[in-house]
Amino acid sequence: MRAARPRRADARRNEKTLLDAAAAIFVTSGVEAPVRDIAAEAGVGTATIYRHFPTRADLIIAVYRHQVEACAEAGPALLASSATPYAALRQWINLFVDFLVTKHGLAAVLQSDSAGFGNLHAYFLDRLLPVCTQLLDAAADSGEIRSGLDAYALLRGVGNLCIGADSDPRYDARRLVELLIAGLRRPR
């Protein structure tokens, strides 16, 4: 039997450095920043990044994983704690928007169909689509919203509304998403 790998503690610390560096660069240059810039920020060779994160999608996922998970987990909680399913949906979407709006370039990349971001796309869908579907279904069942809107389309629409949300003070993605969600409401 083999003892747990001793280097692991070190490597994990290093990985943390990498993620911090990537996060910092993502903020200033967007998630498509050159690998070299990230490596430089981390004080590390480029290959080190490739070792830890073979594709850019892997890196992006790792950087945002905690927040995506938190968002996913918030769905059922909100459903349980909110007055109505529609209120839960609305709040959950706001969480998603709060997340996206602060991630320079992420929303843009999320809708890019360029191969290589496939994993990223898949990850977000994998984690968030079921949650969104659940909330949407609940709100439809309660009769609060029109039915017939795909959770996929909604997520993507919300994501799109977040593109370029920073870097333009005249553009208020949160407000627009609010309107979109308001528009979902079944007219009386």
Partner DNA sequence: AATGAATGAGGGTTCATTCAT
Partner DNA sequence: TATGAATGAACCCTCATTCAT
Q: Which residues contact DNA by CB under 7 A?
A: 5-7, 10-11, 14-15, 32, 34-36, 43-48, 50-52, 55-56, 116
Which ranges constitute the DSSP H helices of 82-167? 85-101, 106-110, 118-141, 151-161
Question: Within 10 Å of residue 28's Cβ, how many Cβ atoms?
Answer: 10
Residues in contact with 111: Cβ distance below 8 Å, sequence separation at least 6, in sequence order: 156, 159, 160, 163
**163 part of the interface to a second copy, by CB under 8 A:** yes
Which residue, 25 or 145, has its beta carbon nearer to a second copy?
Answer: 145
In the complex, the smallest distance separating the C-beta of residue 161 from a second copy, rounded to whole angstroms, is: 5
Please give the structure tokens belonging to residue 8. Answer: 């692991």
- For the chain, how big is the Rg over CA atoms in Å? 19
**178 part of the interface to a second copy, by CB under 8 A:** yes
**164 part of the interface to a second copy, by CB under 8 A:** yes
Footprint on this chain of a second copy (rule: CB under 8 A):
108, 111-113, 149-150, 152-154, 156-157, 160-164, 167-168, 170-173, 175-176, 178-185, 187-188
